[in-house]
Chain A
Amino acid sequence: MKMTTPYLGHLHKAYGPVLKKAGVEIIFPPTPTKRTLDLGTKHAPEFACFPFKVTLGSMIEALELGADTIFMIGGWGPCRFGYYDVIQEQILKDLGYSFKMGSANNPDALKDMLDLMQRISGARSRLTLYKIFFSILLRLSILDWVMKKYFHTKPYELSPCETDQVLEKSLSLVESSLSLSQLIKSVLTISFWFRKLRKRKGIHPLRVAIVGELFTVLDPSANMGIDMWLAERGVEVIKSVWLSDYANDRFRFKPFRRNQFKLSSRFARPYLQFHAGGESIESVGKTVFYAKKGIDGIIHIFPFTCMPELVAQTILSKVQKDLHIPILTLIIDEHTARGGVETRLEAFIDLLERRRKRN
């Protein structure tokens, strides 16, 4: 079996080495490019959302490289994501590819996830499956922690690119450490590296939160790296959703991390009383949460025709008025050009800087 699965943020760095060690042959699709998106757009339904098109393109490219099994997470709604695998399988089979589609139908249930691990790795013992699954989750949360540290440190760096070098070193260190003891050692080393960085003192960088749909917030092929772009310009970036938080809300493997969904629900309550699918609750709740903590601005990013985020967008216009917080809405589709987005971001940062001077 040569398995493949589309990219989502740095999830591949978490599961890749673990599964390889378990003897699974993985074919990583090429990093998504214009071609990936074009392939996806060509074969996808016109109004399918952006993540559908990118992942479909990635699947085609992986199949071209010789993959024969695709794994895709499913779900039971109300967002469209749960039905991706069925439509994608149908489209790819119509195109004449022969492969097997393996999907986990209920990513919220531990049983289904273990079942997925079993089908991927072929391991028989339950203990091994637990080990594989939780080491993936652990690595994922360490990777997220590294990214958070990077966004936190970057605006204060003294000499350019130093932080980026540390980030690169750290990510590859996490990628190469497999056992628990190695991971703990790598965490210590990485925090040492970040501490050792020379930092500027006495500055107060702008703080901007990126809220919105999971894929567009996390994946560089969807958000065109706006998080890095902002960090480069001395803005401290905070993200409302992380994959490890998403997993932690369901499997509780991080004892000291609060349930982010419940936290967001509490803050969203005056505006959105029921979870309308996807990350709508997180988008609204975290916006209120950050606004109360005195953040400078919010960027709300989501794919065109995303149903839950459209609900959130409608409600955020009220939050914006009530809490006096600037919100920039970025809607991503296959026509979105980087230049246009950068211009809007520049204008937004200017606005935030001026706003801060005035107050």
Chain B
Amino acid sequence: MKIGIPRGLLFYRYFPLWEKFFETLGIEVVVSDPTTEDTVREGSKFVPSDLCLPVKIFFGHVESIRQKVDYLFIPRFISVEPDAYMCPKLMGLPDMLRASIDSLPPLIDYPIHCKAQGVKAEENFYLKVGNIFLKDKGKVSASYLMAIERQNRFRLLLRHRFSFDQALHLSRSSNRIEKPLEDGKGRIGVIGRPYYVHDPFLRRYVVEQIELSRYSPITPEALSDQEIEKGIETLRKRIYWSYGKEMVGSAIHFARSGLVQGIINLASFGCGQDSFNFELIQHCVKDKISTLSIVFDEHLSNVGFSTRIEAFLEMILRRKNQK
């Protein structure tokens, strides 16, 4: 039995959980290869041109593994918190796939809707998924607990500012967590959804370039929930998007605490939520810290971005020297 997990969207948030969960159930997990230009090209064939790049890439990943697996794991993420939604595109993702790609293997697309069903919804979802393969309820919930443990360890490693690949690798062993590399010249906050920040292709080597210039990048995942919560308390109205909350909260925290020297926002062209999130970020931090917003689309050239990042880092360095 093989289950396919496309390397896109919430893969970058939940993969350790999924991997551990299916492995303990004795199911082989097949992950698509890292994103390339071909993935974008394949994915763009299926969907309207106005959809955002991460969704197109996701379609490309699905296309590349759909023939190799018995099931595709595409959960319908509606809300993972009682007071916040995910993106509408994630809510309709399984339906969009069914409408656009022919001859798909069966999709596992149960909804996760904590807003309607309470915080237990997430656990219930995994138990339901486990029951497809294994009727033994005790064993399924045991493997869910093990999977959660792995996920927590993974998030802890991200909190300690390991990169996604390192964290994924280290979460599999149970060695003690040690601090990763030193900060170098300073820290730069890289703010975006997990699927921008951790996909090396999608982020167009922005993070790599920051590292090459001997700055260390920090993502919202390096902050604790309390720190993010404190950040968004200042807003007049709570943000009702999970990732919006995370991004705006961490930007405000970064600006207030002086943890970073500058903030780089990553968004995709035409992202509806980020148009508002980044407006809020700009408004809340504009006189405290320098920000740079970078918007991606499917035109695949890195030169423009690297020039802008170079100039941005240069500016930060000069400001620091002036002080």
Identify B51's interface contact among A82, A86, A87, A314, CB under 8 A.
A314
Chain A 82-128 residues near chain B, CB threshold 8 A? 82-83, 85-87, 89-91, 94, 105
Expressed in whole angstroms, the minimum distance between the Cβ of A294 and any Cβ of chain B is: 23
Known: A86-B236, A274-B111, A317-B100. A80 touches B276 (CB 8 A): yes
A106 to chain B, nearest CB (A): 11
Contact across chains for B99 and A317 when beta carbons are under 8 A apart: yes
Q: Which of A287-328 contact B (CB under 8 A)?
A: 304-308, 310-311, 313-315, 317-319
B50 at the interface (CB under 8 A from A): yes
Q: How far is the CB of B245 from chain A (nearest CB, A)?
A: 11
Confirm or deny: B118 has a beta carbon within 8 angstroms of a beta carbon on chain A: no
| Bound Cα distance A202, B124 (Å) | 60
Q: Are B92 and A311 within 8 A (Cβ)?
A: yes
User: Are B237's CB and A86's CB within 8 A?
Assistant: yes
Report Cα–Cα, A103/B1, bound state, in Å: 53
A308 in contact with B88 given A47-B275, A274-B78, A314-B99 (CB within 8 Å): yes
- Of A18-26, A34-42, A276-284, the segment with at least 4 beta carbons within 8 Å of chain B is A276-284
Chain A residues within an 8 Å CB radius of B276: 45, 48, 80, 83, 87
Assembled-state Cα–Cα distance A155/B63 (Å): 47
For B279, the chain A residues whose CB sits under 8 A away are: 45, 48, 87, 90-91
Q: Which residues of B contact A105 (CB under 8 A)?
A: 237
Whether, in the assembled complex, A178 has its beta carbon less than 8 Å from a beta carbon of chain B, the answer is no
Q: Which residues on A sit within 8 Å (CB–CB) of B27? A: none
Chain A residue numbers with a CB within 8 Å of B100 are 314, 317-318
A224 to chain B, nearest CB (A): 19
Q: Give, as a whole number of angstroms, the nearest-CB distance from B84 to chain A.
A: 8
Q: Confirm or deny: B312 has a beta carbon within 8 angstroms of a beta carbon on chain A.
A: no
In the assembled complex, the Cα of A62 lies from the Cα of B51 at a distance in Å of: 34
B86 and A78 contacting across the interface, CB-CB below 8 Å: yes
Return chain A residues, CB-CB under 8 Å to B241. Answer: 77-78
B85 contacts A314, C-beta separation under 8 Å: no
- Determine if B89 is an interface residue (Cβ-Cβ < 8 Å): yes
Nearest to A77 among chain B residues (CB) is: B240
Report which residue of B87, B235, B275 has the largest number of chain A beta carbons within 10 angstroms of its beta carbon: B275
A86-B237, A310-B50 given; A78·B283 CB < 8 A: no
Q: Most A CB atoms within 10 A — which of B88, B111, B274?
A: B88
Q: Does B208 contact A (CB under 8 A)?
A: no
CB distance from A291 to the nearest CB of B (A): 15
Counting CB contacts under 8 A, is A79 at the interface? yes
B280 CB-CB contact with A under 8 Å: yes
Tell me the minimal C-beta distance from A321 to chain B in angstroms. Answer: 9
Expressed in whole angstroms, the Cα–Cα distance for A76 and B235 within the complex equals: 15
Give residues 232-259 of A contacting B (CB, 8 Å). none
User: Which chain B positions have C-beta within 8 A of A272?
Assistant: 92, 95
The answer for the CA separation of A79 and B88 in the assembled complex, in Å, is: 7
Please determine whether A311 and B275 come into contact, CB atoms closer than 8 angstroms. Answer: no
Does the CB pair A307–B87 fall under 8 Å? yes
If A83-B276, A310-B51 touch, whether A277 touches B99 (CB-CB below 8 Å) is no
Please name all residues of chain A whose beta carbon is closer than 8 Å to the beta carbon of B236 when the two chains form the complex. 86, 89
Is A70's beta carbon under 8 Å from chain B? no
Contact A280–B85 (Cβ < 8 Å)? no
Quick check: B240 and A318 within 8 Å, CB to CB?
no
Q: Which 6 A-B pairs have the closest CB atoms?
A: A318-B99, A311-B92, A47-B275, A78-B85, A276-B92, A77-B240
Other A-B pairs, 13, CB within 8 Å; known A46-B275, A272-B92, A311-B89: A45-B279, A48-B276, A76-B240, A77-B240, A80-B273, A87-B279, A87-B280, A90-B279, A271-B98, A307-B88, A310-B88, A317-B99, A319-B99
A–B pairs, 6, beta carbons within 8 Å: A45-B275, A45-B279, A305-B271, A305-B275, A314-B92, A318-B98
A interface with B by C-beta (< 8 Å): 45-49, 74, 76-80, 82-83, 85-87, 89-91, 94, 105, 271-278, 280, 304-308, 310-311, 313-315, 317-319, 329, 331
